């Protein structure tokens, strides 16, 4: 008996629904475990601060694990983007346990890093395994990678709308199958509710007062957004600089060993405890109290150094730290509420560093409420343009209006020489 076109489409829908739910559940469960383990590592470090002295040893362990077992996956998020743009072979599942181990070790011993990279890599590695199981085409494999990114991001930050949009926007200038978009939303929500099911909490932020947007406040918002974009540029270039510098050390495990030794000396001798790990308490404080001016610069320095040396984690939470503390500090000279400026910086620096202004605007609305939509929208778009064409993901394709603007600017400058 022949199947009709409707039956075929129904079976195809059922297949992708099962794939989305499985990826969402497995990635969400992995993120839930990761978040619990990360909280344990953070609490242990705070209670036993002497453990910072073991940061070089922890870095050496991370370096050895990737040198002997993870050479194929050491590129992390960049490998996911490369496989999306030019599919070669299935991402080894070992990416997930390796990055989980490396990130927990990094945070346990006090490295300045984030968590988004870990969740996204775990999600991507889990999702890509479905290619063989369901015998999917190259086009469908690209969809799997987007679903993995979506699930990882949504589950680790508790922002399903943002996760779904971020996964699509970060690869926007490569070819996208439009059926991927609704599938990304299904997977993001499945991952988000899986973390909820495991009763793992996310950090909540509040902006209690948002003034009506006026012409003068728009001007102040644009000025602040330009600074957020420049901070994103500094963060991205700093990470690439330290990464290039440490690559001059021929034996990779020695890179985090040396980097860990330098970080341990600085952290313990200069009382820089708030720059260790994620720095979430400092982010929360930035919404209530004016931050010190050096805070955002020091977080850029320590995180770019930590990741450049070869420690594992992510960049996004440190970007939140940079943006929130910069915005909070700007409240001294810009007549906007501290919490609003901190929230604008929170998402705007992230927007500039990842070239994803739409996802970051949605994130601002998801985290802070619809009342601040105009402010975070202005901040994310202007920071996106002000941050240049270099982002935290070296393998990301950057085209569109931003790329065109900088190309024209470059040509004009060359003509004026």
pLDDT number for residue 323: 98
pLDDT for residue 3:
65
Alpha-carbon span 109 to 111, nearest angstrom: 6
Please give the model's pTM, rounded to 2 decimal places.
0.95
Q: How far apart are the first and last CA of the chain?
A: 74
* Per-residue pLDDT reduced to its tens digit, 226-264: 999 999 999 999 999 999 999 999 999 999 999 999 999
CATH 1.10.3080.10: which residues of the chain?
A: 5-197, 215-404
Indicate if the pLDDT at residue 88 is higher than 60. Answer: yes
- pLDDT tens readout for residues 60-85: 999 999 999 999 999 999 999 999 99
Q: What is the DSSP string of 42-68?
A: HHHHHHTGGGGGGHHHHHHHHHHHHHH
* Whether the predicted pLDDT of 198 surpasses 60: yes
Closest by CA position to 81, among listed 22, 161, 169, 190 = 169
Mean pLDDT of 329-358: 97
Range 215-404 classified under CATH 1.10.3080.10: yes
265-275 burial code (b ≥16 CB/10 A, e <16) = ebbbeeebbbb
Distance CA 397, CA 170 (A): 8
Lowest mean pLDDT among 51-55, 193-197, 271-275, 394-398: 394-398
Spell out a b/e string for 326-357, using b for 16 or more CB atoms within 10 Å of the CB, else e: bbbbbbeebebbbbbbbbbbbbbbbbbbbbbb
- Provide the 8-state DSSP code for 389: S
Among residues 369, 347, 274, 257, the alpha carbon closest in space to that of 311 is found at: 257
Higher per-residue pLDDT: 399 or 113? 113
- Better-scored residue on pLDDT, 267 or 403: 267
Q: In this structure, which topology does domain 5-197 adopt according to CATH?
A: Clc chloride channel (1.10.3080)
Residue 414: pLDDT band (50, 70, 90) is low
- The DSSP secondary-structure symbol of 312 reads -
């Amino acid at each position: 008996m022949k199947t009709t076109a409707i039956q075929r489409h129904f079976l195809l829908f059922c297949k992708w629904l099962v794939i989305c739910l499985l990826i969402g559940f497995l990635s969400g469960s992995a993120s839930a475990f990761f978040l619990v383990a990360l909280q344990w590592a953070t609490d242990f470090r705070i209670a036993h601060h002497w453990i910072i002295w073991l940061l070089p040893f922890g870095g050496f362990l991370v370096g050895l694990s990737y040198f002997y077992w993870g050479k194929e996956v050491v590129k992390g998020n960049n490998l996911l983007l490369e496989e999306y743009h030019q599919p070669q072979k299935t991402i080894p599942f070992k990416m997930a346990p390796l990055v989980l181990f490396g990130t927990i070790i990094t945070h346990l011993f006090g490295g300045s890093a984030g968590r988004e990279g870990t969740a996204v890599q775990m999600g991507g590695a889990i999702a890509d395994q479905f290619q063989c199981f369901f015998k999917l085409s190259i086009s469908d494999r690209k969809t799997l990678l987007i679903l993995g990114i979506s699930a990882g991001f949504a589950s680790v930050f508790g922002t399903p709308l943002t996760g779904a949009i971020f996964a699509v926007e970060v690869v926007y200038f490569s070819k996208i199958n439009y059926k991927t978009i609704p599938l990304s939303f299904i997977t993001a929500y499945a991952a988000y509710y899986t973390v909820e099911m495991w009763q793992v909490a996310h950090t909540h932020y509040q902006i209690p007062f948002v003034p009506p947007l006026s012409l003068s406040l728009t001007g102040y918002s644009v000025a602040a957004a330009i600074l957020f974009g420049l901070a994103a540029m500094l963060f991205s270039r700093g990470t690439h600089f330290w990464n290039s510098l440490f690559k001059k050390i021929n034996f990779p495990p020695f890179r985090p060993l040396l980097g860990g030794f330098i970080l341990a000396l600085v952290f313990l001798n200069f009382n820089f405890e708030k720059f260790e790990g994620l720095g979430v308490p400092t982010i929360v404080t930035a919404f209530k109290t004016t931050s010190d001016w050096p805070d955002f610069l020091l977080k850029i320095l320590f995180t770019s150094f930590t990741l450049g040396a070869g420690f594992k984690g992510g960049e996004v939470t440190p970007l939140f730290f940079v943006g929130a503390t910069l915005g909070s500090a700007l409240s001294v000279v810009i007549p906007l509420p501290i919490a609003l400026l901190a929230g604008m910086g929170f998402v705007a620096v992230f927007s500039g560093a990842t070239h994803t202004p739409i996802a970051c605007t949605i994130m601002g609305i998801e985290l802070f409420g619809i009342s601040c939509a105009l402010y975070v929208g202005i901040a994310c778009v202007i920071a996106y343009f002000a941050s240049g064409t270099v982002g935290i993901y070296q393998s990301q394709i950057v085209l569109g209006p931003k790329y065109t603007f900088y190309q024209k600017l470059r040509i004009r400058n060359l003509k004026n020489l």
